[in-house]
Amino acid sequence: ERFVQRTSDLFLAMIFRDGMFHADPHPGNFLLPDAGHLAILDFGDVGYLTQRRRLDFQALLLAISERDADDFTRALLTVTRASVEIDEDAVQSAVEAWMQRWLRAGVSEQDLGPALEHLLDLFRENHLTFPSDLLMPLRVLMRLQGLGLELGSTVPLDDMLRPYLTQMMADRFKPAALLKEGRRTLRSWQRLLGPLPDELADLAVRMRKDGASLDIRVHDPDEVVDNLIDGLIAAASIIGASELLAKRTPPTIKDASVPGVAVFALAGLTWVRLQNRRASHKKITSRVAGFISRRF
């Protein structure tokens, strides 16, 4: 029992904490030099997960552990980069059937080998390509479960996984993690908007030279623009507040920056004020559409 627990903790820490892991945990690859030490042999089969992939793997496992077909389907379609032609309802129905068959009694009471094979069949039938780098940690979990069953362990696999999944979920909402995600979002916007002035200038030159006709078709513009504006304001507020909280900008209460908390509160109040003010004014997209119609 103790050997299985220590071995599982070691491999799960490699997967979730380090992102680089030994991918072949069978009995022949372990050595017990004494009662207090465990040695792992044969690192010829090694897997690697980026931070992004670890989050993807975590989302899949959380959905499985909670028997949540909706979350699992969303996570699955994200990691497989499903095309727009994929029938999401059909995928979710297949996922629900898979969970009903294999997870009804709990992960630890099932043989994960046939369950994984059935899941791979589900991918093929729905034209989904599951990333190979995520298959390796799934196989590691399957082998760890098999090792435990072979040695007569009664420790459920769910119980082994839960502390790591809970910790990773908590880490995602730490101020430093929110700040990092906010910076990544801003860089994405910068990459999107950076070339825009030059591209608009080139477009204007071509229009003056060759002439052009403009056909504008706008579908539900008010909601799109409003959501974009609200998202930008929220992102800026969260980034600022996260910076203050991460640096513990004084004054602080129990290591929480008072200015940081205040900025979070101010962001919420600003959001409400903008919503109320926007409701009493003409939508910006209507004014833009009117201007364009007069110009063209």
Q: What is the pLDDT of residues 29-54, one digit of tens each?
A: 888 888 778 888 888 889 999 988 88
Res 274: pLDDT = 64
Res 216: pLDDT = 60
Res 296: pLDDT = 47
Distances from the Cα of 209 to the Cαs of 195, 198, 201, 216, 227, in angstroms?
Answer: 22, 17, 12, 21, 37
Supply the Cα-derived Rg of the chain in whole angstroms.
26
User: Is there a contact between 56 and 63 (Cβ–Cβ < 8 Å)?
Assistant: no
Residues 6 or more apart in contact with residue 146 via CB below 8 angstroms: 112, 113
The SS3 of residue 171 is helix
Positions in the chain whose pLDDT score sits under 70? 84, 104-111, 154, 211-231, 234, 244-245, 270-296
Residue 211 identity: G
Distances from the Cα of 247 to the Cαs of 39, 82, 176, 187, in angstroms?
Answer: 40, 40, 9, 22
User: Is there a contact between 136 and 130 (Cβ–Cβ < 8 Å)?
Assistant: no
The SS3 of residue 67 is coil
Res 95: pLDDT = 93
pLDDT of 89-120, one tens digit each?
999 999 999 988 887 655 555 567 788 889 88
Res 103: pLDDT = 77
Rounded Cα distance, 102 and 108, in Å: 11
Res 290: pLDDT = 54
Res 147: pLDDT = 81
Going from N- to C-terminal start, the domains of the chain cover 2-172, 175-295
Res 93: pLDDT = 94
